[in-house]
Chain A
Amino acid sequence: GAGVSQSPRYKVAKRGQDVALRCDPISGHVSLFWYQQALGQGPEFLTYFQNEAQLDKSGLPSDRFFAERPEGSVSTLKIQRTQQEDSAVYLCASSQTANYNEQFFGPGTRLTVL
């Protein structure tokens, strides 16, 4: 079956532009995570959804970052007024349920802010 997909795969934005990054999790997966991976670093947690409920957004770096999952499947990460320090790969992961199920990662969206 299909894995986690993300679009676009690459995004170039001018500083100050708004961007929207999409994640399609594996069908039926309850949990969805967003991570940010800077160059040469490990992924860092941004936010977590269980179905449509955003249960943890403690990793979002500023109020310019906003995520939603309105119908409990597809999720969108939006970044307003992008800054150069937002340049990173944004990873989405989904898992079947809680209780330490494996997280399946998408290929990521590489965002470059000029």
Chain B
Amino acid sequence: GDSVTQMEGPVTLSEEAFLTINCTYTATGYPSLFWYVQYPGEGLQLLLKATKADDKGSNKGFEATYRKETTSFHLEKGSVQVSDSAVYFCALSPVWGNEKLTFGTGTRLTIIP
């Protein structure tokens, strides 16, 4: 079945550092790929998405590119801020059937000033 493997945390970085959180997937066909974020005390929110190969999703300075050849969707940000501290989840939804999401285990990111 479909699965998502995500870089384990926790990850601690200094403010303005470069961020990469790795995500790879296993799925049939061409799933849609997502990054969700959960800020402290809040519900899951969609951060960005890509629906086909080579698409780049971007939002709030974060980017991720759908790489079919490496089945990856790594999350990057050039300069992190304290406010980016949160748990980040990589997820996919299948091409066929309903759009149920398959999530990775999540990566807790802490940014220190």
Nearest CB in chain B: distance from A3 CB, A: 8
CB closest residue in chain A, given B87: A42
- The chain A residue with its CB closest to the CB of B38 is A105
Taking each of A41, A43, A98, which has the highest tally of chain B beta carbons within 10 Å of its own beta carbon?
A43
| A-B interface pairs (CB < 8 A), number | 60
**Interface bracket on B:** 20 to 34
Beta-carbon contact of A48 and B103 below 8 Å:
no
Asked if A55 is at the interface (CB within 8 A of a chain B CB), the reply is yes
Asked if A43 and B99 sit within 8 Å, CB to CB, the answer is no
Is B99 a contact partner of A31 (Cβ separation < 8 A)?
Answer: yes
Point out the residues of chain A lying under 8 angstroms from B97, CB to CB.
56
Contact (Cβ within 8 A) A42 B103: yes
Closest to A43 in B: B103
Select B104's contact among A33, A42, A106, beta carbons within 8 Å.
A42
Beta-carbon contacts under 8 Å, A16-35 to B: 31, 33, 35
Contact of B44 with A44 in the complex, beta carbons under 8 Å:
no
Partner of A108, one of B43, B101, B105: B43
A-B contact pairs, 26 of them (CB 8 A): A3-B43, A33-B100, A40-B105, A41-B105, A41-B106, A42-B106, A43-B44, A45-B101, A45-B102, A48-B98, A55-B98, A56-B97, A56-B100, A93-B44, A95-B99, A98-B98, A100-B49, A100-B99, A101-B99, A103-B46, A105-B36, A105-B43, A105-B45, A106-B43, A107-B43, A108-B43
Q: Across chains A and B, which 3 residue pairs bring their CB atoms closest together, nearest first?
A: A42-B103, A105-B44, A45-B100
| B interface with A by C-beta (< 8 Å) | 4, 6, 32, 36, 42-46, 49, 51, 89, 91, 93, 97-106
User: 13 more A-B contacts (CB under 8 A) besides A45-B102, A98-B98?
Assistant: A35-B101, A42-B104, A43-B101, A45-B101, A48-B100, A56-B98, A95-B99, A100-B32, A100-B99, A103-B99, A103-B101, A105-B44, A107-B42
